[in-house]
Amino acid sequence: MSDYKMLINGQMVAGATATPVLNPATEDAIADCPRASKAQLDQAVAAASAAFPAWSKTSIDERRKVLVAIADVIQANVTELARLLTQEQGKPLQDATGEVFGASAFFRYFASLDLPAKVVTNDATGRIEVRRKPLGVVGCIVPWNFPVMLMAFKVPAALLAGNTVVVKPAPTTPLSSLRLAELIKDLAPPGVINIITDANDLGGAMTAHPDIRKISFTGSTETGKKVMASAADALKRISLELGGNDALIVLDDVDPKETAPKVFGAAMQNAGQVCIAAKRIYVHESIYDAMCDEFATLADNWVVGDGLEQGTQMGPLQNKAQFEKVMGFLDSAKKDGKVIAGGGRKGDKGYFIQPTVVRDIAEGSQLVDEEQFGPVMPVIKYSDPADAVRRANASIYGLGGSIWAKDSDRAWDLAENMESGSVWVNKHADLRPDLPFGGAKFSGIGSELGEEGLKEFTQVQVLNMAR
């Protein structure tokens, strides 16, 4: 059992209590994790508040240097961090390595941005500038599916803009964040970065905290609604990156053999626990049987196992609650459609679920209408592409979506009618640090990444002078 500590005011500190973190592949404890008390949350916020005046006055070049230093440290420790991430999250080591590398790239990307004042007028009559000021203390709340990468959506942008942060990872995947905290603790002045871990009990206190000026939240839509309500009292700024139920539409001109593996990968990555996983697969009737057969063959041959084992393509579900939720979806899917691959738990230890393909299923089924967040893909038949887009849009969610076709111009024309924050053609879930990422409808408010994402960590100030 190793000991992990939290980062508060530049110091590694023990939690008020400690509870184990489980490896979802074995259900064995990996380590004890500190759990902060409300008083420790207050200490972290106080440290961030105290550090804010000086940090916000540093030059953007100084802040860039800190981001690059953090990127370097992440990259130098990729092997250790990726292994820890696989152990606590479950994903294959190769994917964990990609996630950690991605996080360092995101820090580096934000270090390349600028927040210049826009000079609107500067003449004999006066001077007018539009500036971007930092907000103050930002609370960053992160879920368990991409703990390292999603932290890197928020922290570098918040810091570059001149804010200080209190970060809270999800209670079931805190260790990679805490190890990272230890590695970077001396790279920024004390109090600029604070990382605390909870027992799923401090999110509400963070969102209601009077001294946190913005909450950058990634998680479920249900929790996002609570964040919004709780932030109202202090009129906090919020960014909400929430759930999704991405539709992926396959047109009639694709080659099933060539397209099916790509679609399958978009649904099964991270065991389906991706906000922008393909969660509803619409396939044209003329190729429906062929595509379903390909999906079933892929599922039967997909290598499911401990992420630390070489060759594993898919790990377990991250936690018991999610495992049970997806098993519930499977029960209902068996009634509403025809399971042609998988369909149950794999083994009797660890939260493994077989990659599952369900055909002859349609809207009205839980598996189609709700976010499964697991390795269970519904394949839905359609005959008219415009109707498929209408059906794809008939969802409360609007995070991502994609259209697949040999004739990519035809797909492009349909794509603009999708009601989602990102729409891809002949690919899915292509995230880049320089592109804003955010959801329509119940999938969120605001965006992260790109210049737009950076601006969300700022307040506009107009300086307007007469001469």
List residues with catalytic annotation. 241, 275
C-beta of 210 vs 311, nearer to ligand NAD: 210
The binder of ligand NAD chosen from 134, 244, 315, 436 (CB under 6 A): 244
Least distance in angstroms from the C-beta of 75 to ligand NAD: 23
Binding flag, residue 329, ligand NAD (CB under 6 A): no
Verify binding: residue 204, ligand NAD, rule CB under 6 A. Answer: yes
Cα dihedral 370/374/376/377 (nearest 10): 60
Question: Of the two residues 283 and 326, which places its CB atom closer to ligand NAD in the complex?
Answer: 326
From 119-127, 164-172, 252-260, 424-432, span contacting ligand NAD (CB under 6 A): 164-172
**What is the size of the binding site for ligand NAD (CB under 6 A)?**
30
**Binding segment (CB under 6 A) for ligand NAD, from list 221-229, 325-333, 379-387, 408-416:** 221-229
With CB under 6 A as the contact rule, which of the stretches 10-18, 28-36, 72-80, 200-208 interacts with ligand NAD? Answer: 200-208
Would you say 401 or 444 has its CB closer to ligand NAD? Answer: 444
Distance CA 415, CA 404 (A): 10
Q: Given candidates 34, 92, 136, 171, which one binds ligand NAD under the rule CB under 6 A? A: 171
| Cβ distance to ligand NAD smaller for residue 203 or 450 | 203
| Residue 194 in contact with ligand NAD, rule: CB under 6 A | no
Minimum CB–partner distance for residue 152 and ligand NAD (Å): 12
Residue 199: CB minimum distance to ligand NAD, A = 9
Based on the shown chain and the rule CB under 6 A, indicate whether residue 200 belongs to the binding site for ligand NAD.
yes
Residues in the chain: 467
Residues 35 and 28: their CA atoms lie apart, in Å, by 19
Give the neighbor-by-neighbor strand order of the sheet with 118-123: 118-123, 126-134, 458-466
- Render the burial of 94-110: b for 16+ CB within 10 Å, e for the rest: ebbbebbbbbbbbbbbb
The verdict on 203 binding ligand NAD (CB under 6 A) reads yes
Q: Applying CB under 6 A, which of residues 51, 93, 178, 399 lies at the interface with ligand NAD?
A: 399
By CB under 6 A, residue 444 contacts ligand NAD:
yes
Query: Is residue 419 within the footprint of ligand NAD (CB under 6 A)?
Result: no
Pick the stretch among 17-25, 155-163, 181-189, 437-445 that binds ligand NAD (CB under 6 A): 437-445
According to the binding rule CB under 6 A, does residue 325 interact with ligand NAD?
Answer: no
Binder among 23, 43, 97, 145 for ligand NAD (CB under 6 A): 145
Q: Which residue is nearest to ligand NAD (CB)?
A: 203
Using the rule CB under 6 A, give the single segment among 41-49, 99-107, 198-206, 294-302 that binds ligand NAD: 198-206
d(CA 442, CA 416): 19
Among 218, 239, 259, 270, binds ligand NAD (CB under 6 A): 218
- Tokens at 268, concatenated: 């099964």
Q: Is 368 in the site for ligand NAD (CB under 6 A)?
A: no
CA-CA distances (angstroms) from residue 233 to 43, 212, 213, 272?
21, 12, 11, 36
Is 141 an interacting residue with respect to ligand NAD (CB under 6 A)?
Answer: yes
Can you tell me the distance from the alpha carbon of 163 to that of 133, in angstroms, rounded to the nearest whole number?
Answer: 9
User: In the complex, which residues of this chain contact ligand NAD (CB under 6 A)?
Assistant: 141-145, 150, 168, 170-171, 200, 203-204, 207, 218-220, 223, 226-227, 241-244, 275, 371, 373, 399, 439, 443-444
